[in-house]
Amino acid sequence: MLKKLLSGLLGGGDRPAANAPAADSVEYRGYQIISEPADQGGQYRVSGWIRKPGAVGEYQEHRFERSDRVPAREACDQLMVSKAQRFIDEVGEEMFSPR
């Protein structure tokens, strides 16, 4: 117990989240949605990319991160796509605007 307490205080606690390999992209209204969930202790956090093709070989990209955690990779990929689709419908091109 003392070892766990000391490692937490000294920064040796939980390992940082690792990203699972990216899933195949899903096309939606001219955007590409790529699920790349973060593996966090046996669960997957919804995250990935929304890309819009621009000039030849160029993309506009938006990193899409949510706090939702799901125990299964496939369910996480599906949730990522549905949340990204809703985000695209609500925000559209504004996601690429500087803040």
pLDDT digits (tens, 9 = 90+) for 33-43: 999 998 888 89
Examine residue 53 and state whether it is found in any structural domain, yes or no: yes
Condensed to tens digits (0 to 9), the pLDDT of residues 47-56 reads 999 999 887 7
Instruction: Report if residue 30 sits inside a domain.
Output: yes
In a domain, 55, yes or no: yes
- Per the structure, the complete domain to which residue 65 belongs is given by 16-92
With respect to residue 2, please indicate whether it lies within any of the assigned structural domains: no
Domain assignment present for 84: yes
Question: Which residues are CB-contacts of 64 (< 8 A; sequence separation ≥ 6)?
Answer: 33, 46, 47, 48, 49, 50, 80, 83, 84, 87
pTM of structure: 0.75
pLDDT beyond 60 at 5: no
- Predicted confidence (pLDDT) per residue in 69-78, tens digit: 999 999 999 9
Which amino acid, 96? F
Residue 41: inside a domain = yes
* Structure confidence at residue 78 (pLDDT): 96
Q: Is residue 48 part of a domain?
A: yes
Please tell me the total count of domains within the chain: 1
Residue type, 82: S
Q: Is the pLDDT of residue 13 over 50?
A: no
**SS3 for 84?**
helix
